[in-house]
Amino acid sequence: MKKTKTGPNAVGHNSVFSAVTTALFDMFSNKGQLDPLADNQRIDGKVCLVTGANSGLGKSVAIQLAKRGGHVIMACRSGIPDAGEDVKRLSGSDNVEMLSVDLSDLDSVSAFCNILRDRKIVIDIAIMNAGLMPLNSRRSAQGYELMFAVHFLANRLMLHRWCQDGVIKPGTSTINTPRVIFVSSEAHQSSEAINFSKFGEYIEFGIKDGLRHYGTSKLHLSTFANELSRRLNPECSDQYSVKMSDAQSEKNSGEKTNEPGHVNIAVHSLCPGPIASNIARESPGFLKPILNPIMSLFFNSPDKAAAPVMLLACEESMGKRTGVYLHMMREKTCSEHASNSSNGEQLWESSQRLLAKYLDPEGKRSKGMGSEVGRSESESIEGTEGAQKRTAKQKTNLSTSA
């Protein structure tokens, strides 16, 4: 679907109407659809972390990952232990555990990161899924707007800490490249551009503007996903990004179309499309009798909506690429705003300032950490043989002054 470049604030679709019609077209048309993950694709022994795994899409993804042999960590603020027991029963796997975290509270996120670090957990597949659509604006524990805090700040902090603590490490081969998958939304395409002069400021809004602000928080998330992908994989430029459709025709013809650059950690994002889940739990009581049947009739079940997540998380070729965006089962581009590297840098630096107190809790940087965030002084973020050959300039860089 063609992107529109309209007024100064429109960064993708020029209206919510355009975004909704695109979503409906994509849902009911088969054109350009990718094949789902093969039934026999296994991930035995891989450590998979899913946020918001007690409900909807996250729960379904947790079940599917466990069925394929993953060790699943469900990172949730509620449903402990019942949702975990459900996932065990429905997947037939005991390799499932639940950890508690409230993503709207940075102290809770920090404590959660400490637990992963202290247990020396190394994640192979991270599904950053938790999300919400509140009826009105509300404040997080630290006073930020709730969706900004959960959709963006918590993910920004977790990824920084995981790289710093070695909870996510660059893969040693394309078979074991770790993957980080962000569940965003096409709503990011119809959001207004991020206002960096008011970055992180709390904005009051009511029921009329909720969807707009949801889109803005997902724009922060998509912009972050692209920036993280660039910083973790400096060798991969867009020109090396082989499209899945190209890779499939390459496989069929036996011809090589392109060589992707080395991927340290694959970072992808997606919109799962409309899901019959609990996302509209805050909708007014009078709307529920209308909304619930519409959702169950026209929206995808969480199991079906999980298909693009599973493809990005487990399909082999997705470990050789980074920065892929799927809208349901179609590969697309994020909005221009979200893909723009100077927006990504600004987002990175602005959030670095907001999170300063949480990013470096033990003062590692002041003890002589180089510009790379992520390893002890003796261990760079690129611990692998191939990576060591790269120059300092090419190294994965999560610092502000990249």
Ligand X SMILES: NC(=O)c1ccc[n+]([C@@H]2O[C@H](COP(=O)([O-])OP(=O)(O)OC[C@H]3O[C@@H](n4cnc5c(N)ncnc54)[C@H](OP(=O)(O)O)[C@@H]3O)[C@@H](O)[C@H]2O)c1
Instruction: Report the amino acid identity of residue 373.
Output: V
Q: Which tokens in the block code for residue 331?
A: 């590969």
Question: Which of the residues 122 through 141 are near ligand X (CB under 6 A)?
Answer: 129-132
Compute the least distance from the CB of residue 44 to ligand X, in Å.
26
Specify the length of the chain in residues. Answer: 402
Is residue 181 a contact residue for ligand X (CB under 6 A)?
A: no
> Whose Cβ is closer to ligand X: residue 82's or residue 379's?
82
Lookup: tokens for 93? 């796997």
Least CB distance to ligand X at residue 52 (A): 3
* CB 335 within 8 Å of CB 320: no
Dmax of the chain from CA atoms?
63
Least Å from the CB of residue 196 to ligand X = 23
Q: How far is the CB of 394 from ligand X (least distance, A)?
A: 33
Q: Is 185 in the site for ligand X (CB under 6 A)?
A: yes
Among the listed residues 56, 84, 166, 170, the single contact to ligand X using CB under 6 A: 56
CB of 250 vs ligand X, minimal distance in Å: 31
Q: 247, 246, 236, 383: which is closest to 323 by C-alpha?
A: 236
| b (16+ CB within 10 A) / e for 104-129 | bbbebbbebbeebeeeebebbbbbbb
- Give whichever of 87 and 183 is closer to ligand X, judged by the CB atom: 183
- 82 contacts: CB under 8 Å, gap ≥ 6: none
**Interface with ligand X includes 194 (CB under 6 A)?**
no
Which of 54, 191, 269, 317 is close enough to bind ligand X by CB under 6 A?
A: 54
Pick the piece of the chain touching ligand X (CB under 6 A) from 275-283, 320-328, 332-340, 355-363.
275-283
Cα(57)–Cα(70) distance, integer angstroms: 17
From residue 200, give the alpha-carbon distance in Å to each of 175, 231, 334: 38, 22, 22
Contacts of residue 185, Cβ cutoff 8 Å, sequence gap at least 6? 131, 214, 215, 218, 271
Closest approach of ligand X to the CB of residue 15, in Å = 17
Consecutive H or E run containing 182: strand 179-183
Answer for which of 13, 46, 47, 55 binds ligand X (CB under 6 A) is: 55
Closer CB to ligand X, residue 129 or residue 226? 129
Q: How far is the CB of 396 from ligand X (least distance, A)?
A: 26
3-state secondary structure of 73: strand
Q: Are 128 and 155 in contact (CB under 8 A)?
A: yes
Residue 152 or 348 having the CB closest to ligand X: 152
Within 84-113, the residues that bind ligand X by CB under 6 A are: 101-104
Binding residue for ligand X, selected from 3, 67, 77, 304, defined by CB under 6 A:
77
For ligand X, which residue of 49, 50, 275, 324 counts as binding (CB under 6 A)?
A: 275
User: Can residue 308 be called a binding residue for ligand X (CB under 6 A)?
Assistant: no
Residue 63 CA to residue 303 CA, distance in Å, equals 9
Phi, psi for residue 54 in degrees, rounded to 5: -90, -5
393 Cβ contact partners less than 8 Å away, ≥ 6 residues apart: none
Distances in Å between the Cα of 176 and the Cα atoms of 260, 383, 388 are: 16, 14, 17
Q: Which of 272, 308, 323, 374 binds ligand X (CB under 6 A)?
A: 272
Would you say 161 or 375 has its CB closer to ligand X?
161
274 part of the interface to ligand X, by CB under 6 A = yes
Total residues contacting ligand X by CB under 6 A comes to 27
Binding positions for ligand X, rule: CB under 6 A: 52, 54-58, 76-78, 101-104, 129-132, 150, 183, 185, 271-272, 274-275, 277-279
